[in-house]
Structure 1
Amino acid sequence: MTSVSLPPKVQRIDPQANAVLTTPYDRGADEPTWYQSSFAASAQNTSDTSDVVNLALNDSQVPLQPFVLYHDDFLKVLGPNPRLKVIAKEETYPFAHEAGVWIPETREVFFTSNQFYGDAKHHHRVIRISKIKLPLYSDTTADDDEGLYEWETITPQSPILTGNGATNWDDGVLFCQQGSGSVPGALIYMSPKPPYATKTLLNNFYGRPFNAPNDVAVLPMDGSIWFTDPDYAQLQSLRRFHRLPNQVYCFQPITGSIRMVADGFVRPNGIAFSPDCKRCYITDTEAYDGLGNNIARAAATIYVQDVVEQTSPSGEVSFYLANKRVFAFADCGAPDGIKVDLAGNVYSGCGDGVHVWNPSGTLIGKILVPRGVANFCFADPGTIILLNETRIFEVKCAARGALVQ
């Protein structure tokens, strides 16, 4: 690795020094000891930096050095002047948790909240859908610049019960509905414009209800919809029983056919395809028990499989997955939402922010966000929107999302 000058908001982690630790440590799925140093960069010569750390956490939530460099390839992702800033916040409930779908025409990002008690008296848990509008230009470098950005909660024409992950589909937003009680898990399309009309595309596997569809991606070659289905609805008491294993499915909306395409996961979660659509990345978040706890010895793993074309005797072309193998393991929390950039680098929301691996599975960098990121999305070229429960962050860098043109 060559020695190059770094932008001021970037800190380097020396691989050699990181390989052998000389100070006491006892890490589970928590943040490493150097994590706090990113908040206290201006007080490196101070013996006690706790006040600096607390000030940063309580103010803008933006570390002084949020970009962590493990390999110089990360500089190509960051560009010469990477920035991270808060663009929206809401302290009363976890409004920004999952989905993250960029609609270029309206410059809006749609996202879902985490579960919260909408009616504390009856302990009725709800998930809200919101959107945030990005300004056309933003030249400011302020760490907290929410005044330029507008966000609002929306109400779909028909309810999307406990929505979670989502993706772009048919000029709108395709949500994973986890369901609750007698309401089944489903894939639901929503128009991105008022009155936000909805349409259910799929809500069962040959009569057997899904567990809790979690995240979804579209394979461009044939328009098929691929989604994960872990058992978080049962773990969080949204549903009493699950009727299927935790698996990954492929749905073809043109024909209505539904196939199981991958198993062997404890809790399959995020899903994304490589830029050339020859690889499919699926995260396993066994380390998240669904109740707010981290399990240090559980899977926090990204798996990769080859996308293989198959032609039937009748000439119908379909795709399946083969050669499942480990791609990466997250050192903090678990890899939740997952995206890929045009260079093939893989991004995933983890317990301390967003981790970035090169196509070979080597960790090249992190974008630190206090208390982590569940999901995120690429927007304009060089813009990433991060969802952090009570805050939304905007990253300005050099990367471009693989499926955002």
Structure 2
Amino acid sequence: MTKLAVGAILAVALVTASHTAASPPGAIYIDPLLYNVVGANYTEWRNSSAIGFNPTNSTPPFIQVFDPSFLDVTGPSATIREIASNPGFDFAHEAPIYVPDLNLVFFSNTGGGTLTYSGWYNNSVVSMINMTLVDEALARTTGNVNIQVQTLNLSDNVQMVNGGTGPYRGDLLFVTAGRALLPPSIVRVNPSPPYNTTVILDNFLGRQFNSLNDIKILPGTDIMFFTDPPYGWLNGYRPEPMLPSQVYRFDPSTGQVRVVADQFVNPNGIAFTPDGKTAFVTDTGVFGGFLETNQTFPATIYQFDVEPTTQSFMNRRVFAYSDSGAPDGIQLDTKGNVHAGCGDGIHVWNDEGTLIGKFYLNSTASQLIFTKSGLVILAETAMYVVNIQARGMTLATL
């Protein structure tokens, strides 16, 4: 065993011992000082961001701590437990929305295939999971559970759902990537049967968007902000983009749509601080669809000031760069910590952009959402819940 490996084990043991009373079960502590210099003979070099950083070779899923302040996020009893699974099918990929009054989480799977202008054979599917049933099942065991998810039968004008937020005036708010010539759109969906839908935006002054990806409401307003990368084209189900990759602002009361930020490769997730003064936008430029992965492109969260009058995004700066995959969906807790779905699980940064911990799955976790039960993680072929202490913005008053 190398001196580095011995040092790592000792550091984990010492830090774990010093935080025993407040540490979640099985939490693994990583001392960054041990890995600042590893030398030419280090055997764990990562040549690809698809490989997660797990220097202790711990068995996932587990809670990985880079800074003791992460314990304020997790609390002393947090565990990562699987709540739904469908191996071989990416049923849990995008657009998580939690409706507290119903205790339901809505979400979508991936869609894909070959672009055909006569139609599309593989639309995404919107589903939901009942968190009351999840809580009841988890209370009966210390292990994992597999709760059946329910598929919604939505209108044909809701194609390739990729982002969501809400509740918005009692409804779900989805953005779609469109398919073939069917335009990307913002859609309101009733969260109760028959799940009727209303498209409220599908163009920018007569020009189709590229492929809408994610959406959030500016706190304290009804103003919608959404991202528009060219992923429909990159993944073969939309025409070549005719607009830059941008972030838009939409005021549904006036119908006004305008650009608030640009100069992205593939803008993806979006979020605001609780006071609405700061915005975060993720750029998953590293993933290029048929252009393939380019690890020199962004896997980055950018931070902006929201101009009080115009609500344009100002003073762009790098907030964080993900070491694994790229930050997709992004959520903030009430303490200002930033949670994002990345290539090996959920990464959490404090409000200064320091990585303080991960919910380590060793697999892609594109999206996440805070619920009364804890943090729900969408990990493609599985869903997890972590009963953390931190709370999401929308749950602060519940």
- 1:4-403 paired onto structure 2 within 5 Å: 4-5=19-20, 6-22=23-39, 23-24=42-43, 25-32=45-52, 34=54, 37-39=57-59, 63=61, 66-116=62-112, 124-135=121-132, 137=136, 138-140=138-140, 142-146=142-146, 149-168=147-166, 169-291=168-290, 294-310=293-309, 318-380=310-372, 383-403=374-394
Instruction: Number of aligned residue pairs: give it.
Output: 368
Contact 2:128–2:152, Cα closer than 8 Å, also in 1: yes
Distance in 2 between residues matched to 1:88 and 1:337, nearest whole Å: 19
Which whole-Å deviations, capped at 9, do the CAs of 1:45-88 have from their partners, x for residues lacking one?
A: xxxxxxxxxxxxxxxxx52xx10000011000010111111111
Q: Is the 8 A contact 1:180 1:238 kept in 2?
A: yes
Kindly provide the CA deviation profile for residues 358-389 of structure 1, in whole angstroms up to 9, marking residues without a partner as x: 00000000001132201111111x60111111
Superposed CA deviations along residues 1-56 of structure 1, whole A, max 9, x for unmatched, are: 984223332000001102122413243213246267121xxxxxxxxxxxxxxxxx
- The 8 Å contact of residues 294 and 333 in structure 1, kept in 2 or not, is answered as no
Give 1:155's aligned amino acid. N
C-alpha displacement of 1:117: 5.9
Which one has a larger percent strand, Structure 1 or Structure 2?
1
Write the distance in 1 (CA, Å) between the matches of 2:261 and 2:123.
30
1:126-157 Cα deviation digits (max 9, x unpaired): 211100001255435633112xx341111114
Cα separation, 2, equivalents of 1:396 and 1:94: 23
In structure 2, C-alpha distance between the alignment counterparts of 1:195 and 1:33, rounded to whole Å: 45
> CA separation of 1:133/1:293 partners in 2, compared to 1, >3 Å: closer, same or farther?
farther
Q: How many Å separate the matches in 2 of 1:93 and 1:7?
A: 31
Once the 2 structures are TM-superposed, how far is the Cα of residue 320 of structure 1 from its aligned partner? 1.9
Structure 2 counterpart of 1:373, one-letter code? A
Deviates more, 1:14-23 or 1:217-226: 14-23
Q: Which residues of structure 2 form unaligned runs of 5+?
A: 1-13
Q: Which deviates more, 129-138 or 190-199? A: 129-138
Partner deviation per Cα, 1:239-290 (whole Å, 9 max, x = no partner): 2221110000000001110010000111000000012211100000001123
1:54 maps to which residue? none
Give the CA deviation at 1:123: 8.2
- Counterpart-to-counterpart distance in 2, 1:26 and 1:239: 34
**Matches of 1:207 and 1:7, distance apart in 2:** 53
SS in 2 for 1:234: helix
Q: TM-score, normalised by structure 1?
A: 0.86
Task: Decide whether the 8 Å contact of 1:275 with 1:403 is kept in 2.
Answer: no
**How far apart in 2 are the matches of 1:333 and 1:105?**
34
Give the TM-score normalised by structure 2: 0.88
Q: Distance in 2 between matches of 1:32 and 1:131?
A: 29
Tell me the alpha carbon deviations over residues 158-190 of structure 1, each in whole angstroms, 9 at most, x when there is no partner: 541111110001212111111011100110110
Is 1:29–1:294's contact at 8 Å kept on the other side of the alignment? Answer: no
SS at 1:403's partner residue? helix
Alpha-carbon distance in structure 2 between the residues aligned to 1:36 and 1:154: 42
Code of the aligned partner of 2:124:
I
Structure 1 gap segments, 5+ residues each: 40-61, 311-317
Cα distance in structure 1, aligned partners of 2:241 and 2:85: 35
8 A contact 1:29–1:295 mirrored in 2? no
Asked if the contact 1:103–1:172 (Cα under 8 Å) also holds between the matched residues in 2, the reply is: no
Amino acid in the other structure paired with 1:362: T
